[in-house]
Amino acid sequence: MDIAIIGTGSVGSGLATAFVGAGHRVYLTARSADKVEAAAQAAGATVATSPAAAAALADVVILAVPFGAAEEIAGAIRPVVNGKTIVDVTNPAKADWSGPLFGGTDSGAERIAAWLPEAHVVKAFNTLLANNIAAPAPEGIRLDGYVAADDADAKAIALGLAESIGLNPIDVGPLSAARQLESLAWLNISLNMAPGSTWKTGWKLVGAPVAVAA
């Protein structure tokens, strides 16, 4: 599958490496040309000159940027993502980084869906810490890849992508479930803010049904 990843931070770069390793073609882009070149070379991805250029080449677009930049990027890619799957991996934070921005009353994914009404927005990969992307089975336990979306085909694509990089794919329901996923991610993040934390903790729902990707 052709995947555009917008953002070359630890999560974007990690996902690029994981998806290339799983046999997908990845187009990588970000604000800094130097960082994109280095990240693309390390991952085996192809550099794209802009978010719109990357999105135009891809079947799936992954937003791996700070949430504060998401509205601007949505505006830039909107003309080329009609009908495409957009995967939101952001975790919107309060200004003081004390917790999730929306606190369960809204979500970053729902905001992005409003900015990209012709696309199919999915919430996925946001509960996966960057240190677990390359090997999502700390202590030998396969971590879950939670996926929330309203469009069935887009959801199936995201579930398949999660499975392709070693996650246990789990369908958690409609896009509004992104509210719980963003809070779940922030619980994990907050636990790792303590001194000496490994930043390798992850979520596993024991007894959960396995969502078989289409």
Which tokens go with 213? 């990707």
Q: What would the pLDDT profile of 46-67 be if each residue is shown by its tens digit?
A: 999 999 999 999 999 999 999 9
Which token pair is 123? 């919430």
Give me the residue spans of the domains in the chain.
2-191
Mean pLDDT of the chain: 94
What is the predicted pLDDT for the residue at 93? 87
Percentage of the chain modeled with pLDDT above 90: 86
Burial of 60 by CB count in 10 Å (0-12 exposed, 13-18 middle, 19+ buried)?
buried
Sheet containing 168-173: give its strands across. Answer: 46-47, 25-29, 2-6, 60-63, 85-88, 120-124, 144-149, 168-173
Identify the pLDDT of residue 212: 53
CATH number of 2-191: 3.40.50.720
Return d(Cα 127, Cα 51) in angstroms, integer.
24
pLDDT digits 0-9 by tens, 65-116 = 999 999 999 999 999 999 999 999 999 988 888 888 898 889 999 999 999 9
Distance in angstroms (rounded) separating the CA atoms of residues 81 and 116: 8
The three-class DSSP label of residue 43 is helix
